[in-house]
Chain A
Amino acid sequence: EVQLVESGGGLVQPGGSVRLSCAVSGFTFSTFWMTYVRQAPGKGLEWVANINEDGSEKEYVDSVKGRFTISRDNTKNSLYLQMNSLRVEDTAVYYCVRYSSRQRAFDSWGQGALVTVSS
Chain B
Amino acid sequence: DIVMTQSPLSLPVTPGEPAFISCRSSQSLLHTNGYNYLDWYLQKPGQSPKLLIYLGSYRASGAPDRFSGSGSGTDFTLKISRVEAEDAGVYYCMQPLQNPITFGQGTRLEIK
Interface set of A (CB-CB < 8 Å, partner B): 35, 37, 44-47, 50, 59, 61-62, 95, 99-100, 103-107, 109-112
> B11-19, B80-88, B101-109: which lies at the A interface?
B101-109
CB pair B106–A44 under 8 Å, yes or no, is: yes
Pairs A–B under 8 Å by Cβ, sample size 11: A44-B92, A44-B105, A45-B94, A45-B106, A47-B100, A104-B35, A105-B39, A105-B60, A105-B94, A106-B94, A109-B50
Q: Is B71 an interface residue (CB 8 A)?
A: no
Output the least CB separation between A8 and chain B (Å).
17
Interface set of B (CB-CB < 8 Å, partner A): 35, 37, 39, 41, 43, 48-51, 54-55, 58, 60, 90, 92, 94, 96, 99-106
CA distance A44 to B94 in the complex (A): 11
CB pair A103–B54 under 8 Å, yes or no, is: yes
Q: Which residues of A contact B43 (CB under 8 A)?
A: 45
Q: Which residues of A contact B90 (CB under 8 A)?
A: 44
CB pair A109–B100 under 8 Å, yes or no, is: no
Q: Which residues of B contact A107 (CB under 8 A)?
A: 51, 54, 60
Output the least CB separation between B67 and chain A (Å).
14
Total contacts A-B at CB 8 Å: 63
Instruction: For A112, give the chain B residue with the smallest CB separation.
Output: B48
Question: Which residue of B35, B41, B96 has the most chain A CB atoms within 10 A of its CB atom?
Answer: B96
Given A99-B96, A103-B55, A105-B94, output 9 extra A-B contacts at Cβ < 8 Å.
A44-B90, A44-B103, A45-B92, A47-B102, A47-B103, A50-B101, A61-B100, A105-B51, A109-B48
Q: Which residues of A contact B49 (CB under 8 A)?
A: 37, 45, 95, 106, 109
Instruction: For A100, give the chain B residue with the smallest CB separation.
Output: B54
Output the least CB separation between B42 and chain A (Å).
11
CA distance A37 to B51 in the complex (A): 14
CB pair B106–A104 under 8 Å, yes or no, is: no
Question: Could you say which of A35, A50, A61, A110 contacts B48, with CB atoms under 8 Å apart?
Answer: A110
